[in-house]
A and B are shown apart, each in its own frame.
Chain A
């Protein structure tokens, strides 16, 4: 089955700095890679996703890059703000399968 590894497990940055979280996956058939933000006690919220036919996607301060050959994808957050503090999960799944495998999560702390 699919195995997703996520690094780092914790990340602390100063407000205004950039944050990068990296994930690797094992199943070459995976072709959908979402990123979720989860605040304490709440549901995961999709913040950005990328499909395997795209190498990069950007939405304001958030971007995701995908390297299919190396089987890794990364989340980039620029100009971080305290409200970006949360746990971030990456995931991987195959089209039409729906089932996602999640990384272990990264706790991001943005210090004011």
Chain B
């Protein structure tokens, strides 16, 4: 199957700083990537849909100025958590799909990034 990587795998930062998380599709071109947030023992909550070459589409309740998404190429999307606070601490997971049938709907998940804000 296709491979999606994330970097870093974990990060600890001070309150007020910004953190950038990278999501890369390693062996396929991803026209669309998704960013999820997952709290302990909870489900994946979709934050936004990242489309290459256009603005991201944010889910209701997600602050677009807080969570900046840039999909600069067909293999890279970045999520920047700006002015991070302890409540932003979470597990952030990206996923990608290539848009080619018959795997059109299959999402390939990255390994996740554990963010801890002190």
Contacts and interface: CB of A to CB of B under 8 A. Distances in A.
B44 interface: yes
Contacts of B109: 43-45
Interface stretch (B14-22, B64-72, B75-83, B99-107): B99-107
A42 B114 CA distance: 10
Contacts, number: 55
A105 to B, nearest CB: 5
* Interface residues of B, dominant DSSP: loop
B93 interface: yes
A102 to B, nearest CB: 5
Interface string B45-58: 01001000000000
Nearest to A89: B43
A99 B105 CA distance: 9
Interface residues of A, number: 23
Given A89-B44, A100-B107, A42 B112 contact: yes
A101 B99 CA distance: 18
Interface string A41-76: 111111001010000000000000000000000000
